[in-house]
């Protein structure tokens, strides 16, 4: 429906106004009628389209009806098709008649000037601004959806800058403009028509701190890009400088969050000043809506690009082994040196890689966890850069941060369909405490942020039964060539006991666990099986994992055929009573395509092969996966972590576009 404006007329003197292309003017026929008038007719110049709306019918003028009854439910409507060449070049005249009189008893004259005013953005999500698009005021999801997209300009294209690009209110490099979305204002009309009007570009009061806008003021030099809207700047008076088109570059300042839906509206308003000393009156408004691109996580099934790892004392062999695996997978290895990590090896816990995407561009974004260990500065100082963004959420009270706020406790599933509902970008997985009055939970600011992104609706699991409390201690995903394209791997004490019992029955009860491992006491299969305390605690831990198994099946739409049980035992911590891995945690692996870097378990050696390694290979190699077992015992396992905890992977984005999701 076209935007309509009510115009009052006067039989005493001509009225002049501006008509904006694409709108409708509804004339106050009855209000301008002289006393005693009973009918009227309407005439207009060639550039004017006239319609009479009467009793639900719309008739174009001229029509077979010479005069119209002057009734309250009758309406005269005007449209025009092209901008005027001269001011007041078109006219409309309403003549009023009394009873059946031949001559008009009074006339009301309207002078019209047609102008074009249009604020346009990439509503079709094609990477190109769409001119005069319809429904610009709405943003809709899905393949048939419409509405423009905005990137949070959270990278740092200018390396010597102190902060992210969206914090400086200036354009330092042309590359910075590519991170912004183009918004074009088109104005067209006869010379001088806007002298008596003001054109104002403005942002909603609730959105001014979420966006920044730069006006390209006629030139291509960087200093000509003027910051006009943003925090503290709600409106901008558009100058009448003779240019029909004005380009504005819009950058995002904030990701969607609990107090921000992600939608931002911009308005161009034409203001008329009816008389000196009085406020301006709005007579036209055009509105466009952007949605801020969400931060999106990448699952193990996506192609790896680079592997991050920390170099610390005594882990040179581990770094070398991971490097070999990265070479096999065709990945770049990025080593954080000790002077930067300051002895903190847990790079998975410090940050999570994701990305943002708009039709014209996308780039990776690192999410910095609130754990704030010795690696605290690395995401900002070592990762943030040109076309590599940064975001962080941390609570005001940092004492509320627990181990559950480290990002080993933040994973994402591959794409799934659940009871007909599609999650083409997967679902985020976070660990929390079992529903009770005690326990730890991921801090609210992080959870709120993850939920607000909308496109990877989180699933909350129970991980507080573990000392460290991370979901990556009992689950991971690996790619598969069949079914859903992946398998969920779950740590399984029950599967481990079955395997050990089988080996004992085969006559290998004296085979030793931890054989040749320094600082670890060797123990036979028979002794492990006879350790009732170990068995009872693992029976409980299996129940904890089974609780999560049921949640994952329900929330990810999985069946038992989608799950592989990986043999694993846990032991009870003497200090907290919670669980730690009894031997290196096999599911806490590094997944690089088909190449898996798995913690070497140092299980019982039977026929010159570790029976745990053999079982894992039996389970995974039929899927086309290559298993490499890496010794992390002294450097990571004894410090309550494994390979996944000590590495991080940046992956290619989804080919699926997030705006095609239907949340």
Name the residue among 148, 157, 163, 198 with its Cα closest to residue 178. Answer: 157
Strand, helix or coil for residue 379:
helix
Give the angle subtended at the CA of 155 by the CAs of 152 and 157, to the nearest 5°.
130
Name the residues annotated as catalytic: 645
CA pair distance 2, 58, nearest whole angstrom: 15
Q: In sequence order, which residues have a C-beta less than 8 Å from that of residue 287 and are 6 or more positions away?
A: 119, 136, 137, 265, 266, 267, 268
pLDDT tens string 154-170: 999 988 889 999 998 98
> Is the model more confident about 152 or about 518?
152
Residue 77: half-sphere exposure toward Cβ, Cα within 13 Å: 19
pLDDT tens string 606-651: 999 999 999 999 999 999 999 999 999 999 999 999 999 999 999 9
Q: What is the 3-state secondary structure (H, E, C) of 490-547?
A: EEEHHHHHHHHHHHHHHHHCCCEECCCCCCCCCEEHHHHHHCHHHHHHHHHHHHHHHH
Average confidence (pLDDT) over 520-539: 96
Q: What is the 3-state secondary structure (H, E, C) of 43-80?
A: EECCCEEEEEEECCEEEEECCCCCCEECCCCEEEEEEE
- Classify residue 177 by its DSSP letter: H
Query: Confidence band (pLDDT; 50, 70, 90) for 279?
Result: confident
Any idea of the CA torsion for 368, 370, 375, 380, to the nearest 10 degrees? Answer: 40
Contact criterion met (CB below 8 Å) for 348 and 375: no
Both tokens of residue 165? 């690009």
Strand, helix or coil for residue 566:
strand
With 60 as the cut, is the pLDDT of residue 141 above it?
yes
CA pair distance 129, 121, nearest whole angstrom: 5
Helix (H) or strand (E) holding 630: strand 626-630
pLDDT tens string 170-228: 898 999 999 999 999 999 998 888 888 899 999 988 999 999 999 988 667 887 899 99
pLDDT tens string 487-514: 999 999 999 999 999 999 999 999 999 9
With 80 as the cut, is the pLDDT of residue 471 above it?
yes
pLDDT tens string 411-445: 999 999 999 999 999 999 999 987 665 667 899 99
Q: What is the 3-state secondary structure (H, E, C) of 1-24?
A: CCCEEEECCCCCCCEEEEEECCCE
- Classify residue 466 by its DSSP letter: B
Average confidence (pLDDT) over 117-135: 93
Helix (H) or strand (E) holding 40: strand 39-44
- Classify residue 350 by its DSSP letter: H
CA pair distance 176, 619, nearest whole angstrom: 48
Q: In sequence order, which residues have a C-beta less than 8 Å from that of residue 12 and are 6 or more positions away?
A: none
Q: What is the pTM of this model?
A: 0.94
DSSP 265-289: EEEEEEEE--STTS--EEEEEEEEE
Contact criterion met (CB below 8 Å) for 97 and 40: yes
CA pair distance 79, 163, nearest whole angstrom: 51
pLDDT tens string 577-610: 999 999 999 999 999 999 999 999 999 999 999 9
With 80 as the cut, is the pLDDT of residue 277 above it?
no
- Classify residue 652 by its DSSP letter: P
CA pair distance 268, 389, nearest whole angstrom: 31
With 80 as the cut, is the pLDDT of residue 243 above it?
no
Residue with tokens 């129970």: 462
Supply the mean pLDDT for the chain. 94
Q: In sequence order, which residues have a C-beta less than 8 Å from that of residue 20 and are 6 or more positions away?
A: 3, 114, 115, 116, 117, 270, 284
Q: Which pLDDT score is estimated for 441? A: 84
DSSP 571-587: EE-TTT--EEESS--TT
């Amino acid at each position: 429906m076209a935007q309509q404006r009510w115009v009052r007329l006067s039989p005493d003197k001509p009225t002049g106004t501006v008509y904006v292309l694409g709108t409708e003017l509804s004339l106050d026929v009855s209000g301008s009628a002289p006393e005693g008038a009973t009918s009227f007719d309407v005439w207009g110049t060639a550039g004017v389209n006239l319609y009479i709306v009467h009793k639900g019918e719309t008739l174009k003028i001229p029509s077979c009806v010479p005069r119209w009854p002057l009734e309250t439910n009758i309406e005269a409507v005007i449209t025009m098709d092209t901008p005027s060449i001269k001011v007041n070049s078109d006219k409309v005249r309403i003549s009023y008649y009394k009873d059946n009189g031949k001559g008009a008893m009074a006339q009301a004259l309207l002078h019209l000037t047609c102008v074009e005013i249009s604020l346009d953005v990439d509503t079709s999500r094609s990477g190109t601004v769409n001119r005069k698009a319809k429904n610009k005021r709405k943003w809709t999801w899905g393949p048939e959806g419409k509405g423009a997209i905005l990137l949070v300009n959270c990278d740092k294209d200018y390396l010597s800058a102190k902060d992210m690009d969206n914090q400086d209110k200036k354009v330092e490099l042309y590359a910075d403009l590519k991170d912004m979305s183009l918004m074009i204002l088109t104005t067209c009309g006869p010379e001088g028509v806007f002298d008596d009007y003001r054109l104002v570009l403005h942002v909603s009061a609730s959105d001014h701190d979420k966006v920044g806008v730069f006006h390209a003021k006629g030139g291509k030099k960087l200093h000509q890009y003027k910051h006009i809207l943003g925090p503290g700047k709600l409106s901008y008076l558009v100058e009448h400088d003779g240019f029909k088109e004005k380009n504005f570059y819009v950058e995002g300042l904030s990701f969607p969050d609990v107090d921000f839906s992600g939608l931002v509206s911009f308005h161009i308003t034409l203001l008329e000043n009816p008389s000196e000393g009085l406020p301006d009156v709005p007579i036209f408004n055009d509105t466009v809506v952007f949605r801020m691109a969400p931060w999106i996580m990448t699952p193990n099934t996506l192609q790896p690009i680079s592997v991050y790892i920390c170099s610390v004392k005594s882990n040179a062999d581990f770094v070398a082994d991971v490097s070999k695996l990265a070479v096999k997978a065709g990945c770049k290895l990025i080593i954080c040196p000790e002077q930067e990590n300051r002895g903190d090896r847990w790079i998975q816990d410090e940050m999570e890689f994701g990305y943002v995407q708009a039709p014209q561009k996308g780039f990776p974004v690192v999410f910095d966890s609130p754990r704030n260990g010795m690696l605290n500065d690395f995401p900002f100082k070592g990762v943030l850069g040109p076309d590599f963004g940064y975001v962080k959420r941390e609570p005001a009270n940092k004492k509320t941060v627990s181990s559950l706020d480290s990002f080993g406790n933040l994973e994402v599933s591959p794409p799934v369909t659940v009871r007909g509902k599609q999650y083409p970008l997967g679902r985020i997985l976070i660990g929390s405490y079992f529903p009770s009055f005690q326990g730890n939970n991921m801090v609210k600011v992080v959870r709120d942020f993850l939920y607000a992104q909308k496109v990877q609706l989180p699933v909350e699991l129970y991980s507080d039964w573990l000392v460290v409390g991370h979901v990556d201690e009992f689950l991971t995903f690996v790619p598969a060539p069949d079914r859903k394209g992946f398998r969920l791997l779950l740590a399984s004490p029950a599967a481990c006991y079955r395997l050990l019992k089988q080996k004992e029955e085969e006559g290998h009860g004296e085979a030793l666990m931890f054989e040749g491992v320094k600082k670890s006491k060797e123990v036979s299969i028979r002794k492990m099986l006879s350790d009732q305390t170990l068995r009872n605690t693992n029976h409980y831990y299996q129940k904890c994992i089974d609780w999560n198994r049921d949640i994952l099946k329900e929330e990810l739409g999985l069946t038992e055929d989608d799950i592989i049980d990986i043999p694993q035992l846990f032991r009870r911590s003497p200090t907290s009573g919670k669980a730690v891995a009894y031997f290196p945690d096999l599911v806490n692996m590094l997944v690089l395509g088909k190449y898996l870097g798995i913690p070497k378990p140092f299980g019982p050696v039977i026929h010159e092969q570790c029976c745990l390694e053999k079982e894992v290979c039996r389970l995974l190699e039929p899927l086309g996966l290559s298993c490499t077992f890496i010794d992390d015992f002294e450097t990571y396992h004894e410090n309550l972590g494994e390979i996944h905890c000590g590495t991080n992977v940046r992956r290619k984005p989804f080919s699926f576009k997030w705006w095609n999701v239907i949340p």
